[in-house]
Amino acid sequence: MSMKSIFDAKEVRSEFEKASINASFIPLIWKHVITHHQNPNNTNTNTNTNTITTAIDWCEIPSLPSAAYSLLASKFKPLTTTLHSLHRSSDGVTTKLLIKLQNGSFVEAVVMKYDTRLGKYDGKPRPGGPRSTLCVSSQVGCKMGCSFCATGSMGFKNNLSSGEIVEQLVHASRVDSIRNVVFMGMGEPLNNYAALVDAIRVMLGSPFQLSPRRITVSTVGIVHAINKLHNDLPGLNLAVSLHAPVQDIRCQIMPAARAFPLEKLMDALQQYQKISQQKILIEYIMLDGVNDGEQHAHLLGKLLETFQVIVNLIPFNPIGTLSQFRTSSEEGVSRFQKILRGTYNIRTTIRKQMGQDISGACGQLVVNLPDKKSIGNSSLLPDIEDLHL
């Protein structure tokens, strides 16, 4: 039987409770695992990291109750995943992590560096300075089958456990100091709802201490889960992969949209916004001749004009022979943005593409393709914190 991850919080708390061990020791154990072994690889080249992980001896953790040591050794592993390899973009801004799961499958996570001291955002000065955002996966593959996304070509393999989700943050923290986490990697996060909620609760607590305002969950629009999300994780950022302003186009490019009619989705978002009082990020991929015309911009503007949203226009990333789509022209994207801003006063950004040279850009995430090309799904806005500007 496979061992559980020490970051599977529910499992650890349950075992500690059975053994009458105080759960307050758990964050201390997590902190030890996170800090005990740092990644010695600081090069800027693509690197295989198979040999860098050193086993952690539970006995090295000081001041635990004696019963905790034997329990940890018999039930849990410090990490059930391994950092198989990492690839850095030529500009050093994007790092793609290939992570091997205990069952032999692979997922990818992408670290994106931003320096917000450079320039302005939507005419406003940007706060802060350098910071890094981690894009994590929630599933191996995806059930949604979006025709413009490489992950959908894999089909669905399995859900990640909450520990496997958190371990992506652990691995990434050895590469860079992570400030923001976005669930925009492989999979539909709300289709793995219980593990998603458990993982985020770990990230919000000690020792990670992330703010809910710095965590974003992206969904194609799983209505029943959106209705639960704010109660379970208040203060979280919600991003919705809308990609079309009318139901028939959504169904054409996003087969899963048939199960979640646009009218019901917009009702759920209206209710979510009423409760949360937060902006919603609307993701919209620009597909030449499909959803990028002026008429589509007007339809989208009318659909969203009563909401507090940021629309993020995403230039389509080619995915080789898997795609029948073309990238919208820069002029077309700019015209689309001007209509939303000028006619409907909707805040609209164009996503900065990062990591394309390592196939780490949006919509390119897939592993184990026949041509062995490993691809990634990343980036949003200039940075997710700009939701709050």
Angle at Cα 132 formed by Cα 131 and Cα 137, nearest 5°?
160
Would you call 108 a catalytic residue per the annotation? yes
Catalytic, out of 15, 108, 167, 188:
108
Neighbours of 31 (CB within 10 A): 14
C-alpha atoms less than 13 angstroms from C-alpha of 333 in its C-beta half-sphere: 21
Quote the CA–CA distance of 69 and 59 in Å, as a whole number.
6
Q: Which of 325, 66, 329, 105 is nearest to 313 (CA)?
A: 329
User: Residue 308, SS3?
Assistant: coil
DSSP string for residues in 232-251: HSTT-EEEEE---SSHHHHH
Interatomic CA distance for residues 124 and 122, integer angstroms: 6
Query: Active-site residue 146, yes or no?
Result: no
Q: Is the peptide bond before 212 cis (omega within 30 degrees of 0)?
A: no
Task: Please identify which of the residues 149, 283, 362, 385 carries the catalytic annotation.
Answer: 362
Pick from 166, 298, 183: which is nearest to 241 by CA? 183
- Structure tokens of 32? 């030890």
**3-state SS class at 289:** coil
User: In angstroms, rounded to a whole number, what is the distance separating the alpha carbons of residues 286 and 292?
Assistant: 6
Active site residues: 108, 362
